[in-house]
Structure 1
Amino acid sequence: MYKVGSPLILQFPHSCCNTLGPLLDMDHQYITKTSSMRICHVVALPYPGRGHINPMMNLCKLVLSRQSRILITFVVTEEWLGFIATETKPDNVRFATVPNVIPSELDRAKDFPGFLEAVFTKMEAPFEKLMDEIEVETPVSAIISDTYMRCAVDVGNRRNIPVATVFPMSASVFTVFHHHELLVKNGHFPVELSERGEEHVDCIPGQWQIQEFHSTGPSIISQAGSDAFVSEGFCNWKKPERFQIHVGQPNSAHNQARQSCVNLMNQKQHIEVALSKQSDQVRTEYRTHLIASIVCIRFLFHQGFAFRSHDETEDSKNQGNFLGLLHFLAQHNEHFKSVVLKNAPRNLKLIAPVIQKDIVNAAANETTKAIISDLGDDIFSVLIDESHDVSIKEQMAIAIRYIDKKGHVLERFLGIVHVSDTTAVSLKMALESLFCQHGLILSRLRRQVYDGASNMQGEFNGLKSLILRENEYAYYVHCFAHQLQLTLVAVAKNHISIASFFSLVTNLINVVGDMQLQELNTRFVEVSTELLLCMACLDPMKFLDPTLGIVVHWCDQLRVLCHPSIGGFWTHCGWNSILEAVYAGVPMLTFPIFMDQVPNSKRIVEDWKIGWRVRREVRSESLVTREEISELVKMFMDMNSIERKDMSKRARELKEICPGAAAEGGSSISNIDAFLKDISQIHDPE
């Protein structure tokens, strides 16, 4: 029996923590004396973060797979409900929300200490109120909370409800937290890293000697020294040198906090002050200026005209359609004339090619969103054609065909995707990437229309066949336009006049194409390589080479790691990601940043020996260069090297441990059953 309010720490051995994923699909019938008890109501309160919510939901699913007579109320913020509401969950799990009293998940990294403070201080009151509403319907038998949600224990104490807390990090990290007083007692914390950074620590029960603790430990426990300088008050006057240790180096937490305080007191630097200096007139003029550029671009869009000219200088007689139209608009509208071209600030004319492209991209995105919104969740067909452009780059044009709400059959262009080659596998990956970008799924595809090339309609390895293996309803139709082309080719071979006509058309296209290519080369001369690299950093989606990688908004990480083509995993060493990689048997490149990620990296590299560090020096703050990353990845992915073979072998050995832990009688199942037995005794002591 647990004492009321005493948190139970659910910790699983390292060899079995990573088995939660496969257990979600198990359908065990857990028959014990508790099967006849009344429904047990459990409230689950995760910490508001993806790395905490996912494990908590997995735990709930695992518990329900062992005992179905449990109702779980899963409590999240209103914002987080919007993120996870559509994800699959058991019928016995229901969502409940508290108001968004903490900073948004989308920008919490701007002030992470402030986010933690809000979680620790502002969540208790709304959670208490929610518990009042929940218990009116069904009394709560137990609370399962994240260890970081301290308010759950306080609420449980006041309501005489037992609380079990789930620690989402590794057992070794929990041990360091739990025995923090031993570190202080033995003089290991706080410490000056420059003097004792490589000291061994052997006072933690259950842990072997921890080398480099002082290069990892402080990032786990505190970056500022201890609570003596925050909430408890400093009283150890026999060791005044502690003050100097607390102040630390120029980049220490103390000095950063001090500088933040100085900045806060300097009112002239506040963003509100800077914004208030912008008068309403300036904002109105800028809006009018921007509207003028947008109006011109919309007209050129509608007419399908080119934007630029080969000579856009002020002395040019033909500056191109965009500038020419903007001049025309200014001459016939005094409202626009007062804010554009010569009357605009020299650094804010909104006529540069990059500005034009930004507006074009914004219009393209809005148009695509409108098409996807019009399609909704209906079925659709896809039309694909691939060829190389004038710069000899392979590309794939994609259009969709669907029936709108009024019954009209519509064909809409979706985009052009550059591909590394025209093999069926490359084309399918490019298609899936575009579908993922726009929220389309392959299961809603009902027809695929291509030409008759072998890479498109091949019976065994063509794009058609690859899609049919995943969706048997995506029927293939040979493109009618391509059939017409084949007919014209056959006719031209037998009629000299028709062949001469198409030869003339081909020559005309080649002449125009050469002119366009020359203009393209001229444009690239105008832009330096450095500028292109800067633009790539600002928006990598537009500059990422599709032959080297794909950027997606979200993916099922475990499913990706389990794919046989995956040879390695670059990770910041969050514990959930490590468990998934171990379960998949994938070696890792570790790049820890803070907190438990640093000792997790040590376990991967030094203890399990299934990965390498990207940054050799744990405490190094220097950037890793592109050349270093390239060389490291090449060595890491050399499947024929002895070191790589040994690392892959050890990863497979760890992977083979997982099924045993997940099997009936394994450590994961035994731990969950023991927990359920304790909960049932609390809920139904008879």
Structure 2
Amino acid sequence: MGSMAAPPPPPPCQCHLVCVPYPGRGHVNAMLNLCRLLAAARDGVSATVVVTEEWLGLLTAGGPAPLPRAVRLAAIPNVIPSEHGRAADWAGFVEAVYTKMEAPFVRLLDGLQAQGGAPAAIVADTFVPWAVRVGNRRRIPVCVLSPLSAAMFSVQYHFHRLPQAAGGSASPPLDGADIADGVGPCLIENYIPGLKSIRLADLEPSHSNKAALNSILEAYVEVRKAQCVIFTSFYEIESDAIDSLRQELPCPVFSVGPCIPFMALQEHNANTEKESYMAWLDAQPVNSVLYVSLGSFLSVSPAQLDEIAYGLAQSKVRFMWVLRDACSRVEGLIQGSDGMVVPWSDQLKVLCHPSVGGFLTHCGMNSMLEALYAGVPMLTLPIVLDQPINSRLIVDVWKVGYSLKEKVRADSVIGRDEIAEAVKKLMMNSGDAEGVRRRASLLEEASRTTAEEGGSSYRDIMAFIDFISPSKR
């Protein structure tokens, strides 16, 4: 019997999306990476990503991952506080996003519709709730993109099920005590199916802040009115949470991750130009460098920053630390150590470098997905929002890292000795670090195969395109 011919490629579709990310770096990057994946998946899929004028400037100032021709940027005026310093008034920033962006977006949408008709769908970040209302008023399907893990989405979507959370007006007990006889520790899986090892205490501090919690829950009122939900995560790492959500949500659920710029990484590997830090990495032994990046928003306190610097120097481990602010101060603290501090790096490219053997991370979703893709074990230092739950997934569910959070002192700072000890444990393969590294390699393989033809994310990307294509409706 002769070999069967390969199936023909799917026909091109004329499918234009208007996409609205929440104006924060992790959210914008997640949306852009989703658009890259969709545009690469099928001819005829295009996207207009709507950002503020400030964000348009940041994105067009040059960067490691240029957008494909099918993805373009459009800007609304700067009706919200600047990206620089928004952490100083997080509640005020969220309120501005919720109340001031809708009107200019509607005007821009009017212009786009006048040029080319209604889009096939609006893809909106979970935390741009007004976009769901706009789409429903105009009878344009709205797809909610969750740049959080499926586990975190499930916690927030089902928050009313947690103890003392009636109406979303009060926080659950966060002291780790038993809830009732026979129930055991404060595990969220006692109340929300599909979640393992996550504790009520992991919701601190954002979910015990009434104003922050109400803003979060307000967004999920609109999520319930969307036509589908998309996750930047992928099925192999969150199958229980995704299966549970598929049973409970009133709309389709697509997991299309990892939504990271891996296609751009392949293109840049062909580029002979090298940044100075890449030349430094080239000179280091395999798996010898700890990469350190604690995010660009709501970072650690100055006291904690100092302890990290002293701890890294004390560990005698090679490290590369990305630090946008306080570079000169930290450089003074790490003198004599085998490390370097840089203001910026192409993170995925660095994590995939053979010399990088560990990642000290704040556990932002994009950073976590990039570390999994690179097969790099993690040392977690979560701060707020979804980061403690991501840390729990890394350490207790996937077992690809260690947590520093449990070593915090009464003054809310983790000391240099504890940091140095944890760094050495991760990087020098002491204890069970060899098993951690082996499991990280398995998740690296899963991260890569899921996006290949036939993989779960590939199938969900194709199913999503079919779902929103005008010809299919």
* Cross-structure match for 1:141: 120
* Cross-structure match for 2:145: 166
Distance 1:118 1:186, change over 3 A: closer
* Cross-structure match for 2:240: none
Aligned equivalents of 1:128 and 1:49: distance in 2?
A: 20
* Cross-structure match for 1:125: 103
Judge conservation of contact 1:98–1:127 (CA < 8 Å) in 2.
Answer: yes
Aligned equivalents of 1:29 and 1:137: distance in 2?
A: 36
Judge conservation of contact 1:215–1:618 (CA < 8 Å) in 2.
Answer: no
* Cross-structure match for 1:81: 56
Q: Aligned pair 1:684/2:471, yes or no?
A: yes
What SS does the aligned partner of 1:102 have? Answer: coil
Q: 1:175 pairs with 141, 154, 159, which one?
A: 154
What SS does the aligned partner of 1:568 have? Answer: strand
* Cross-structure match for 2:387: 597
Judge conservation of contact 1:108–1:115 (CA < 8 Å) in 2.
Answer: yes
Q: CA deviation at 1:658?
A: 2.3
The within-5 A match list for 1:114-513 is 114-139=92-117, 140-184=119-163, 190-194=171-175, 196=177, 198-201=185-188, 202-208=190-196, 210=197, 213-219=199-205, 221-224=207-210, 425=283
Q: Which protein has the larger Cα radius of gyration, Structure 1 or Structure 2?
A: 1
Q: CA deviation at 1:186?
A: 8.2
Q: Aligned pair 1:105/2:91, yes or no?
A: no
Judge conservation of contact 2:375–2:443 (CA < 8 Å) in 1.
Answer: yes
Residues matched between the structures, number: 355
Q: 1:62 pairs with 17, 37, 49, which one?
A: 37
What SS does the aligned partner of 1:144 have? Answer: strand
What SS does the aligned partner of 1:570 have? Answer: strand
Q: 1:673 pairs with 427, 446, 462, which one?
A: 462
Aligned equivalents of 1:617 and 1:544: distance in 2?
A: 22
User: Given residue 192 of structure 2, which amino acid in structure 1 is its aligned partner?
Assistant: I
Judge conservation of contact 2:364–2:390 (CA < 8 Å) in 1.
Answer: yes
Distance 1:61 1:182, change over 3 A: same
Aligned equivalents of 1:668 and 1:111: distance in 2?
A: 37
Could you say which structure has the higher helix fraction? 1
Aligned equivalents of 1:230 and 1:663: distance in 2?
A: 34
User: Given residue 684 of structure 1, which amino acid in structure 2 is its aligned partner?
Assistant: S
Q: Aligned pair 1:627/2:417, yes or no?
A: yes
Judge conservation of contact 2:404–2:419 (CA < 8 Å) in 1.
Answer: yes
Judge conservation of contact 1:589–1:611 (CA < 8 Å) in 2.
Answer: yes
* Cross-structure match for 1:559: 349
Judge conservation of contact 2:164–2:172 (CA < 8 Å) in 1.
Answer: no
What SS does the aligned partner of 1:665 have? Answer: coil
What SS does the aligned partner of 1:117 have? Answer: helix
Aligned equivalents of 1:229 and 1:95: distance in 2?
A: 27
Q: CA deviation at 1:228?
A: 8.3
Distance 1:111 1:228, change over 3 A: closer
Aligned equivalents of 1:229 and 1:58: distance in 2?
A: 26
User: Given residue 92 of structure 1, which amino acid in structure 2 is its aligned partner?
Assistant: A
What SS does the aligned partner of 1:628 have? Answer: helix
Distance 1:538 1:117, change over 3 A: farther
Judge conservation of contact 1:215–1:619 (CA < 8 Å) in 2.
Answer: no
Q: CA deviation at 1:655?
A: 1.3
Q: CA deviation at 1:545?
A: 2.8
What SS does the aligned partner of 1:550 have? Answer: strand
User: Given residue 203 of structure 1, which amino acid in structure 2 is its aligned partner?
Assistant: Y
Q: CA deviation at 1:94?
A: 1.3
Q: CA deviation at 1:563?
A: 0.8
* Cross-structure match for 1:409: none
Q: CA deviation at 1:621?
A: 5.5
Unaligned runs of 5+ in 2: 1-5, 179-184, 219-275, 285-325
Distance 1:193 1:660, change over 3 A: closer
Aligned equivalents of 1:134 and 1:587: distance in 2?
A: 44
User: Given residue 177 of structure 1, which amino acid in structure 2 is its aligned partner?
Assistant: Q
Q: CA deviation at 1:648?
A: 0.8
Distance 1:186 1:125, change over 3 A: closer
Q: TM-score, normalised by structure 1?
A: 0.48
User: Given residue 674 of structure 1, which amino acid in structure 2 is its aligned partner?
Assistant: A
Percent identity between the two aligned chains:
43
Judge conservation of contact 2:177–2:186 (CA < 8 Å) in 1.
Answer: yes
What SS does the aligned partner of 2:210 have? Answer: coil
Deviation string, structure 1 residues 632-657 (Cα, Å, up to 9, x no partner): 21222213x34121111111111122
Q: 1:574 pairs with 357, 364, 388, which one?
A: 364
